[in-house]
Amino acid sequence: MTANFQLNKKYKRSDVLDLIGVPKNGHRGGVYTTGYFKFENAYYLFVNIGIEGRTGHDYDNKFLSDDEIYWFAKSNAKMGQSQIQELLNPKTSINLFYREDNRDDFTYFGKVKAISYQDMKPVQITWRIVGDI
């Protein structure tokens, strides 16, 4: 199921899971509580900007402009991993949500594509919104 998220609208993670059709049968933990996951044919990124994540991870994610975000993948992410290769593929559908306060819901940034990356551990990617902002 594809969802039409509204730019700059706030969403709880559970709302996103509902909208994309993740079953409510108790399998919403694990990967769905991390910074990014794939469901069906799309990726969903949940990015903390300028704050430590609730799990204690503190990445230097930041806005570069109104339509670009510099982002750190999970701490063990490497270029050779299939998930990273999919994220870098321009044909992959990627929806990015962000928040600047741990108590806030996530704001929908938009559909994004990777425009550059750093082959480090973790991998670091610059995302740009696809289309108008």
pLDDT of 33 reads 75
The predicted-structure confidence for 80-90, as pLDDT tens digits, reads as follows 999 999 999 99
* Residue 4, domain member (yes or no): no
pTM of this prediction? 0.90
Tokens at 102, concatenated = 């741990």
How does pLDDT run across 100-122, given as a tens digit for each residue? 998 899 999 999 999 999 999 89
Two tokens, residue 19 = 């909208």
Q: Is residue 39 part of a domain?
A: yes
Residue 101 lies in a domain: yes
Domain containing 84 equals 10-129
pLDDT at 25: 78
Whole-number percent of the chain with pLDDT over 90: 68
Residue 5 counted as domain residue: no
For 2-123, strand residue ranges (E) read 10-11, 36-39, 42-48, 62-65, 68-72, 93-99, 106-118
In a domain, 117, yes or no: yes
CATH code (residue 54): 2.30.280
Tally of domains within the chain = 1
Q: Mean pLDDT in the chain?
A: 89
